[in-house]
Structure 1
Amino acid sequence: MNIIKSFNNTIDYIETVIDDEIDEKKIAYLSGFSYPMFSRLFSILTETTLSEYIRGRRLTEAAISLRDTDKRIIDIAMMYGYESSDSFGTAFKNFHGFTPSEVRNGKPFKLVSRVQLALSVRGGRSMNITIQKKAAFTVAGINEQSINSSLCPSVWDKLYSKYSHDELAKLGGGQSLGVCHDVENPNTINYMAGYIVADKAKAKKMDLDILEVEEAEYAVVELRGSIPECIHQGWKYAMEVFFPEHGYVHSGSPDFEYYYEGDMHSKDYKMELWIPIVKA
């Protein structure tokens, strides 16, 4: 099953339980990914988190229920996962700009429409992608657990506040990598800013975190453009075009941002994504 179809089947399921508990095992069965990994890929494709999407859909449906039914506000609150009318009222007003009572009496409310994924990049606009098997290697650097993806640049700042590029480069061949690994939380990632190292003992003496990466096969996506825009475009192209057309999926192993030297804000900057793959 191609990845777009499986994602839409998963979203179909989410819609059927928008007023109930979501079964993470069902998400995994339908999408082919663990719930945290599905959440991460969903955010790449839609540029919103799965939790934000579900929250928006629930508050949208709650507003429609207020307009179209005579159900009590507390009953609607409970239906969409809120334990009290106060918590529901606060979330509702923050989202819609008006209280449940005001919306019931005619004030406007926001609509979050159901997501439908589709292939959107085709033909002339293509990216250079190669399939490469890479031997096991070791990364040393700063590893931050359970952070929002927007905080990844701060991990690099933390690394370079302790050591210079030249000091880190001497541990190996000077290859720097951003690593997303061991995704377990649907709302956060584990991210490491580091370098491929040969001298692991010296890296440990420098009090750097160590990540051992097993041999794996990757879709290596060549990117050109400023960061982070080119990274977002690379992920979207891989998910929307490469995976469906060639029958691959993300394997769940660590994936990498491979950085070359140069001006990362330049439209001509070159880097790579290494996405671990298996056949669907």
Structure 2
Amino acid sequence: MIKMMHQFNKTIDYLESTFTSEVDFKKFQNISGYSYPLFSRIFSILSEITLAEYLRNRKLTLSVDDLLNTDQKVIDIALKYNYDSADAFSFAFKKFHGNSPSEVRKGKNYKLFPKMKLALKVIGGSQMNIKIETKPSFKVAGVLKENIDSNQCPSTWDELYSKYSFEQLESFGNGQSLGVCYENEGNDKINYMAGYNVLDDAKARNLGLDILEVKESEYAVFRLRDQSLIPFIRHGNICLKNFSRKMVTNIQVYQILKYIPKMIFMIPIMKWSFGYQL
């Protein structure tokens, strides 16, 4: 667990070091152990904010220091933080801070968005309940979209539910809905399936659904609760990545427990002679 937190925090350190340059995706994967899109999904689950939003808020926070403590022009600060123009930077700045760069420079209020670190306790005082579990192999049948951006995943669910009823989707398995994503080699796109657990392959194929098999693997299992998960109770997400030529899986399963949404988040791990590594 300590190793996982260290790895996560080192990845955030690296991303923050690239605010005025570009991310080296090979170096990023060496540090994090994940592709960029897969880490982004893990980040959003653990932090309840997207990675893109976090990085944008951090840049806009740091830009205040440039405004208040240097005489740099707004266009120079904009370019420093990889904005295409002063207008684009000013628009994002005012949306976040509530005041324009020139107004903040003159003494108006601004916001601070602190650097994030993963710790043993999440904000709000809730302990992260984590244990190691081995999960048997299983199959998922659904609609598969290839080479897409991760923000297109919800539309895959829309397509699935527009073509099939809940009764049809629950008829060939145990009724558990799952999302499956795995990255493409050499780019930041993903392949994504919206589907349901399969026990009867033939029945799923007769409906015209694609089928994926998730191999048995060992996971670090997090159990979290979050009221914001209510809209997503109908389905979970599984993220697959190719690591050392083995298909491994990040799993998120949403359930209702006494009217409170419960999320089970599973991260694949490799067992070393001295412990576990994510």
Query: Could you tell me the TM-score, scaled by structure 1's length?
Result: 0.71
Q: Which residue of 2 aligns with 1:29?
A: 30
Provide the rounded CA distance (Å) in 1 between the counterparts of 2:67 and 2:264: 49
Q: Residues 256, 177 of structure 1: CA spacing in aligned structure 2 closer, same or farther, 3 A cutoff?
A: farther
Aligned partners of 1:10 and 1:30 also within 8 Å = yes
Provide the rounded CA distance (Å) in 1 between the counterparts of 2:127 and 2:267: 20
- Displacement, 1:269? 7.8
SS at match of 2:43: helix
Extract unaligned runs of 5+ from structure 1.
236-250
Q: Residues 114, 16 of structure 1: CA spacing in aligned structure 2 closer, same or farther, 3 A cutoff?
A: same
Matched residues, number: 252
Aligned partners of 1:74 and 1:85 also within 8 Å = yes
Q: Which residue of 2 aligns with 1:242?
A: none
- Displacement, 1:177? 3.1
Q: Residues 115, 103 of structure 1: CA spacing in aligned structure 2 closer, same or farther, 3 A cutoff?
A: same
1:176 is aligned to 2:176: yes
Higher strand share: 2
SS at match of 1:76: helix
Aligned partners of 2:74 and 2:101 also within 8 Å = yes
Query: Could you tell me the TM-score, scaled by structure 2's length?
Result: 0.72
Q: Which residue of 1 aligns with 2:62?
A: 61
Q: Residues 271, 219 of structure 1: CA spacing in aligned structure 2 closer, same or farther, 3 A cutoff?
A: same
User: % of aligned pairs identical?
Assistant: 40
Matched residue type, 1:176? Q
Q: Which has the higher contact order (CA 8 A, sep 6+)?
A: 1
Q: Which residue of 2 aligns with 1:278?
A: 270
Q: Residues 256, 4 of structure 1: CA spacing in aligned structure 2 closer, same or farther, 3 A cutoff?
A: closer
Q: Which residue of 2 aligns with 1:241?
A: none
- Displacement, 1:65? 0.5
Q: Which residue of 2 aligns with 1:254?
A: 249
Aligned partners of 1:176 and 1:194 also within 8 Å = yes
SS at match of 1:253: strand
Aligned partners of 1:134 and 1:218 also within 8 Å = no
Deviations 1:147-180 (A, max 9, x none): 449948x82x654554444433443x43423123
Extract unaligned runs of 5+ from structure 2.
237-245, 272-276
Q: Residues 34, 104 of structure 1: CA spacing in aligned structure 2 closer, same or farther, 3 A cutoff?
A: same
